[in-house]
Amino acid sequence: MNNNASLPVIEMKGITKIYSNGVIANKDVDFSVKSGEIHAVMGENGAGKSTLMKMLFGMEKPDKGTIFYRGKPVMIHQPSDAIALKIGMVHQEFMLVPSLTVAENMMLREEPVKGGIFIDRAKAVEETVKISEKYHLPIDPNARIIDLPVGMKQRVEILKALYRGAEILILDEPTAVLTPQETEELFRQLQILREIGHTVIFISHKIREVKQICDRITILKNGLSMGVYNVAEITEADISRLMVGREVKMKLDKKKANPGDVVLKVDNLCYGYGEGKLKVNDVSFTVRSGEIVGIAGVEGNGQRELLELITGLRGIQRGKVSASGLDIRGMSIQKIRDKAKMAYIPQDRLLFGVASEATIKENLMANRISNREYSRAGVIKGGKFTKRSRELIEEFRIKCGGEEQTVNMLSGGNIQKVVVARELSMPRNLIVIDQPSRGIDVGATKFIHEKIFELRDANAAILVNSADLAEIMELSDSLFVMYEGEIVAYFKSLEGVTEEQLGEYMLGINRQTPEQIKEAYYEQ
Amino acid sequence: MSNKQLNQVFSIVKTFLAILIAMVVAFVVILIVSEEPLEALHAFLLGPFTSVRRIGNLIENTIPLIYVGLGVCVLWATGKRTLSGEGCYYFGGLMAALASLKIVFLHGKSLTLVSILIVIAVCGLMALLPMLVNLKYGTDAFVVSLLFNYVMFYIGNYIFSNYLMDITSTSSGSYPLPTDSFLPTLIPGTKVTANLIIALLMIALMWFFMYKTKWGYSIRLVGLNPNCAKYVGINVFAVCMLAQFIGGAISGVGGGMEMFGRNPRFSWFSLTNMGWDGIMVATLAKYKPQYILFSALFLGYVRTGADIMNRSSDVASEIVMIIQAVMILFIGASSFLAHTQQKLRVKYSDKVRQEV
């Protein structure tokens, strides 16, 4: 083993990949990993990290370039080819069957059989225990996936890859969904794997984590490789510069909040009857004008449902939501937008935010076609449309080749700016934002944060949800934590509050008293 | 070349290549089955242009294809595909015949106008049903509309045989349609009527509707991303229903117009297949109203040519079906030429790299 430790176990040479919408995901990228190292692939979102790894795992086909496995050129057409080469991948979205147990998921497609027909469940459990002990990754083989926290699901994915013989493990942004505590635990696991001689490829854009655990890094920017570096020999500032191209000052000037009247009032909201556990369980809070209220929590604890209830995308089952003094129950989405003056920036911009095959102009104008300024007797005023679109592109600094370009040609950050431009350019009392910076670059994130502060100072009431703890702590004036559909903690001010403290509430380890939680609701 | 331009070029090249391949296949079949293939080919390709009457035939065949093609453009624009064009075209013809035969207090062009308004209302409403049950009860819009076409046909056939059938006449069909309601003829010696002008206006109108009004905009947005449309506050239910009403009405008008100058009697004893032809025309036009004239003309030309060949040679007109099938196959095949396109994409990206 020592013999080939310095030899690259995987080498990718001159890899080019262009998607059918013309986006150049990778261009002449060279990449290599040595056996027994933790190698980070870094870059902003859209830099081509995931695509490069998907090609290594056989999920995408490179347009140019060759992949070498221990010096020999190999063709990886599909994931099973990669698995045969002892490569395993843990995706950002877990590929597990929620209703099955851990052991059943582990054995999917390789189920041990009894008498040629029946699945040998006892054997499956036994195998699972064996593999989990071998790698010191304890797991309950009989637990159902649906009942497991995110960190455990991820562990099942890692074990699944190991069970299939993986010695090279690709982890796609593994810490994105984890709390600080879970991240620590993951790092401990990865170090164990490295000690046994396994190779880990760690995709991330979090510099701090990479510095903490990785041996070497490959930095990608705009689909090009910016070089390979030993982690010990490169500073955080240098990494940041290579990733972004310039040093970004993240600290924003934030004035003190000056809250006014209550704009959004949520009373005893419940949602999810008939789905087992309630997704939103007796939630009450208020948002006042001129303040930013943040929601912290591990994803999947009811935040998304809560925001969709407030914005009218889901029907209210129980409880009450009033915005700008209007009870929104039964109101059409259009009315909520126009009468209650509510803007909503959704979490999934490609699913909800934009029609990606339509032009930038069409997307920017989608919420104002009925506005008398833009159409008369149903006929659209084309000139006004174009003029306003150009103004918005300018104002929100959307990088594009003109308003007639289709949205699918833009980068994630610029697509997000299209959504933000459309939503925030109408007069609004209340702005609901779900994951303002998910999957977008540092520059665009900063721009959007500044916009949020600007609107707050102009007296808008703002409700923000983000899975990124650092982001939510920076944005929020006050903040509540959601766990399993409930508010478990409320902080009137974030002064002196640490990430670890919030993490304990997010994991359900800790919980405030009902009196403390009640403070989230301001009586008028 | 940018990726957008590349996609546009390939879209055009693919369409023409599909047509070319289909024609070549048809020629090969003609060469194989015909005793005198050259005559057959001549009749097929040049036949439609040999006399005024035949040019007239070509235009007559094209006009209903324009209506049904436009119909499918709108029916399918919300992304929920229905086959309502078929039933609506048939029912439009029937309602036009019924109205012009049974409304006795109106005559001349006012009768034509009222009949067409009735067709618009009835066919538009009929087309709503499959979408309504889809949106309210989650049935499959495609299947329900397919089946509902037969319901429309049997209702129509009941009306036809009980109220319109002229049993005294030797030619089977309805009572003779009132000639004073017929539209004026444009080309003497043919049955090309003012319907041609109306059809052309309809193309312009539909283009305007789809691209310049807020309703057309909403319909397209629902088609491109229904989630996004819902989220920006568009009433997706109303928009889907509107598209069905308009698409059904246009298809119906297409059928109705056939009763004002082209046919002396209503004599449709089965569904006409025009709804399916509409899909063909719309597919060829990439579902854009502005291209419908070209695709309808092309199909009208192939139809007329095949008809002439059928009469003047030993090749049957069913050859058209082969052409249609091959064309649909290649136009619908999203991976057709995809490899070449991807190679060019990679080649052109080399320039982009320097800009990065």
* Count of C-beta atoms within a 10 Å radius of residue A335: 15
Q: Tell me the residues of chain B between 200 and 219 that have a Cβ less than 8 Å away from chain A.
A: 212-215, 217-218
User: Quick one: B46 and B145 in the same domain?
Assistant: yes
Helix (H, G, I), strand (E, B) or coil at B265: coil
Per the CB < 8 A criterion, the answer to whether B86 and B271 are in contact is yes
Interchain CB distance below 8 Å, A27 and B233: no
In this complex, the residue of B217, B230, B346 whose CB is nearest that of residue A369 is B217
Per the CB < 8 A criterion, the answer to whether A199 and A167 are in contact is yes
* Interval B174-183 mean pLDDT: 89
- Please give the mean pLDDT across all residues of chain A: 86
Instruction: Give residue B344's pLDDT.
Output: 81
Distances (CA, A) of A311 to A199, A320, A342, A432: 45, 12, 8, 8
User: How sure is the predictor about B123, in pLDDT bands with cuts at 50, 70 and 90?
Assistant: very high
Which chain A positions have a beta carbon within 8 Å of B220's beta carbon?
358, 362
Residue with token string 């709390």: A179
Number of structural domains chain B divides into: 2
Instruction: Give residue A246's pLDDT.
Output: 56
Hey, what are A322's tokens?
A: 């009033």
User: Quick one: B154 and B285 in the same domain?
Assistant: yes
Indicate whether A499 pLDDT > 90: no
Indicate whether A392 pLDDT > 60: yes
**B231: nearest CA in chain A?**
A352
Amino acid letter at A164? R
**A16: nearest CA in chain B?**
B346
Taken as a whole, chain B contains a residue count of: 356
Nearest Cα to A440, choosing from A248, A178, A201, A198?
Answer: A248
Residue B283 and residue B276: Cα distance in Å, rounded? 11
Interchain CB distance below 8 Å, B356 and A222: yes
Residue A485 and residue B258: Cα distance in Å, rounded? 62
User: Quick one: B142 and B233 in the same domain?
Assistant: yes
Residue B42 and residue B158: Cα distance in Å, rounded? 43
Interchain CB distance below 8 Å, A344 and B231: yes
Instruction: Give residue A55's pLDDT.
Output: 92
User: Quick one: B164 and B247 in the same domain?
Assistant: yes
Instruction: Give residue B354's pLDDT.
Output: 39
Instruction: Give residue B41's pLDDT.
Output: 86
- B247 or B42: which leads in pLDDT: B247
**A379: nearest CA in chain B?**
B213
In this complex, the residue of B214, B224, B356 whose CB is nearest that of residue A357 is B224
Nearest Cα to A408, choosing from A350, A348, A345, A344?
Answer: A350
User: Quick one: B198 and B214 in the same domain?
Assistant: yes
Indicate whether A489 pLDDT > 70: yes
Question: How distant is the Cα of B237 from the closest Cα of chain A, in angstroms?
Answer: 12
Q: Where are the beta strands (DSSP E) in A98-146?
A: 113-114, 118-119
Instruction: Give residue B353's pLDDT.
Output: 44
In this complex, the residue of B214, B218, B342 whose CB is nearest that of residue A63 is B342
**B228: nearest CA in chain A?**
A352
Q: Which of B210-214, B225-229, B323-327, B334-338 has the lowest mean pLDDT?
A: B334-338
Flag whether residue B354 sits within 8 Å of chain A, measured between CB atoms.
Answer: no
Pairing of strands A199-204, A38-42: parallel
Flag whether residue B225 sits within 8 Å of chain A, measured between CB atoms.
Answer: yes
Q: What is the DSSP annotation of A400-427?
A: SS-TTSBGGGS-HHHHHHHHHHHHHTS-
Per the CB < 8 A criterion, the answer to whether B93 and B275 are in contact is no
Q: Give A154-158's long-range contacts (Cβ < 8 A, gap of 24+).
A: A154/A90, A154/A94, A154/A178, A154/A186, A155/A189, A156/A94, A156/A96, A156/A102, A156/A105, A156/A106, A157/A90, A157/A91, A157/A94, A157/A95, A157/A96, A158/A90, A158/A189
Nearest Cα to B57, choosing from B65, B48, B66?
Answer: B48
Distances (CA, A) of B86 to A24, A264, B67, B148: 44, 51, 11, 10
User: Quick one: B180 and B243 in the same domain?
Assistant: yes
Express each pLDDT in B322-350 by its tens digit: 887 887 788 777 777 788 888 887 777 66
- A2 or A446: which leads in pLDDT: A446
CATH number at residue B140: 1.10.3470
User: Quick one: B16 and B49 in the same domain?
Assistant: no
Instruction: Give residue A247's pLDDT.
Output: 52
Residue B295 and residue B277: Cα distance in Å, rounded? 11
Q: Which domains does chain A have, with CATH numbers?
A: 2-244 (3.40.50.300), 249-341+427-524 (3.40.50.300), 354-426 (no CATH)
Flag whether residue A22 sits within 8 Å of chain B, measured between CB atoms.
Answer: yes
User: Quick one: B245 and B113 in the same domain?
Assistant: yes
Q: How far is Cα of residue A320 from the mean position of the Cα atoms in its chain?
A: 29
Express each pLDDT in A97-116 by its tens digit: 988 899 888 888 777 777 77
Distances (CA, A) of B323 to B21, B40, B49, B247: 9, 15, 20, 26
Residue B214 and residue A40: Cα distance in Å, rounded? 49
Instruction: Give residue B355's pLDDT.
Output: 40
| Domain boundaries, position B347 | 1-34+317-356
Share of chain B above pLDDT 70, in %: 97
Amino acid letter at B317? S
Residue with token string 């262009």: A18
Flag whether residue B231 sits within 8 Å of chain A, measured between CB atoms.
Answer: yes
Residue B349 and residue B237: Cα distance in Å, rounded? 42
User: Quick one: B11 and B86 in the same domain?
Assistant: no
Express each pLDDT in A5-43 by its tens digit: 567 899 999 999 888 767 788 889 999 999 889 999 988
* Interval A109-135 mean pLDDT: 83
Instruction: Give residue A249's pLDDT.
Output: 53
In this complex, the residue of A337, A355, A380 whose CB is nearest that of residue B221 is A355
Q: Which positions ≥6 away from A118 have C-beta within 8 Å?
A: none
Express each pLDDT in A315-327 by its tens digit: 898 999 999 888 9
Instruction: Give residue B342's pLDDT.
Output: 81
Instruction: Give residue B116's pLDDT.
Output: 95
Instruction: Identify the DSSP state of A40.
Output: E
Which chain A positions have a beta carbon within 8 Å of B221's beta carbon?
355, 358, 362, 366
Nearest Cα to B112, choosing from B95, B126, B128, B127?
Answer: B95
* Count of C-beta atoms within a 10 Å radius of residue B222: 27
Flag whether residue A375 sits within 8 Å of chain B, measured between CB atoms.
Answer: yes
Indicate whether B315 pLDDT > 70: yes
Interchain CB distance below 8 Å, A18 and B235: no
Residue B195 and residue A366: Cα distance in Å, rounded? 36
Helix (H, G, I), strand (E, B) or coil at B149: helix
* Interval A219-235 mean pLDDT: 89
- Mutate which: B232, B344, B353, vs A, most A CBs within 10 A: B232
Is ipTM beyond 0.85?
A: no
Interchain CB distance below 8 Å, B234 and A375: no
Interchain CB distance below 8 Å, B213 and A337: no
Indicate whether B118 pLDDT > 90: yes
User: Quick one: B309 and B330 in the same domain?
Assistant: no
Instruction: Give residue B314's pLDDT.
Output: 81
Nearest Cα to B92, choosing from B125, B141, B130, B129?
Answer: B125
Per the CB < 8 A criterion, the answer to whether A471 and A294 are in contact is no
User: Quick one: B144 and B275 in the same domain?
Assistant: yes
* Phi, psi torsion values for B69, nearest 5 degrees: -65, -45
Q: Which of A251-260, B185-194, B235-244 has the lowest mean pLDDT?
A: A251-260
User: Quick one: B82 and B139 in the same domain?
Assistant: yes
Indicate whether B186 pLDDT > 50: yes
Provide the number of CB pairs (under 8 Å) joining chain A to chain B: 107
